[in-house]
Amino acid sequence: MASTSGSVGAEVTGETCSSLAKSSLPPPRPKSPPEYPDLYGKRREAARVQMLEREIGYLEGEIKFIEGVQPASRCCKEVSDFVVANSDPLIPAQRKSRRHCRFWKWLCSCVPCLSLASFCCCCQSECSCHLRKPKCCNCTGCNCAGSKCCDGSCCSNICCCPKPSCPSCSCFRGCCCWCPDLSCCIPTCFRSCSRPSCLNKKSSCCSCNCKIRWSSCFKCPKVRLCCCFCNCKNLCSNPYCLAF
């Protein structure tokens, strides 16, 4: 009895009966779930077929349409005729009509303290648009302390915010609107915090700590790889890779 040797050893453990029983039974096989019809997949497939058949109808219509279409040369003629018939302020050519120039000249003369010289000068003979600053020197409208704003170029963007700290910085309002000290004009820490969900919470925003993970959290625009350095739930935290 070939199995005797196995069973003799097993007698000692007292498991002879159960091991004999185990070896005679087939291994357990869980039942596979019943096959339900994939209704969702079928409907989706039917929708795709419907779309394709609609596309076929559309393409057949296009083929009929194109039989009666004029050749490209007629369209090229239309383009050429349109371009030649219309004046262009940016093109260095002789112009016969001065209607456009007359409008700008009138505007220049009628609007005080608001020189449109840099745009107007193009209409006058022998002048250059080279960066003549407007004459707007009414600095009473400047929202700045001191005379820095009104040094003859009050309509420029030289910073007029008080330094070094500017708790009442009027950046982005009034006349002078640019501060080299960024923290002056941007009290929130959105620049340092890359987690967009923190933007509305001023204090916690500056302490938020985005962990970078190579996972895409949503469909990022165009350059998907680098755009999706985020573990944020909703938004991509790295717009720097927007490829446009």
Distance CA 226, CA 15 (A): 62
Distance CA 73, CA 79 (A): 10
Closer Cβ to another protein, 11 or 45, answer by number: 45
Q: How far is the CB of 64 from another protein (least distance, A)?
A: 11
* 59 sits near another protein (criterion: CB under 8 A): yes
* 165 sits near another protein (criterion: CB under 8 A): no
Of the ranges 10-18, 20-28, 57-65, 204-212, which one interacts with another protein (CB under 8 A)? 57-65
Q: CB of 208 within 8 A of CB of 198?
A: yes
Burial class of residue 16 (count of CB atoms within 10 Å of its CB; 0-12, 13-18, 19+): middle
Distance CA 224, CA 220 (A): 5
What mask of x and - would describe binding to another protein in positions 24 to 43, judged by CB under 8 A? --------------x--xx-
Q: Minimal CA–CA distance to 89: which of 81, 80, 97?
A: 97
Sequence-distant (≥ 6) Cβ neighbours of residue 10 within 8 angstroms:
16, 19
* 5 sits near another protein (criterion: CB under 8 A): no
Please give the residues from 79 up to 108 whose contact with another protein meets the rule CB under 8 A. Answer: 79-80, 82-84, 86-96, 98, 100-101, 104
* 8 sits near another protein (criterion: CB under 8 A): no
Of the ranges 1-9, 13-21, 194-202, 203-211, which one interacts with another protein (CB under 8 A)? 194-202
Figure out which of the listed residues 21, 75, 145, 212 binds another protein, where binding follows CB under 8 A.
75
* 172 sits near another protein (criterion: CB under 8 A): yes
Q: Minimal CA–CA distance to 166: which of 181, 151, 176?
A: 181
* 204 sits near another protein (criterion: CB under 8 A): no
* 77 sits near another protein (criterion: CB under 8 A): yes
Count the residues of the shown chain that bind another protein, applying the rule CB under 8 A.
93
Angle between helices 16-24 and 4-13 (to 10 degrees): 130
Figure out which of the listed residues 119, 163, 201, 207 binds another protein, where binding follows CB under 8 A.
119
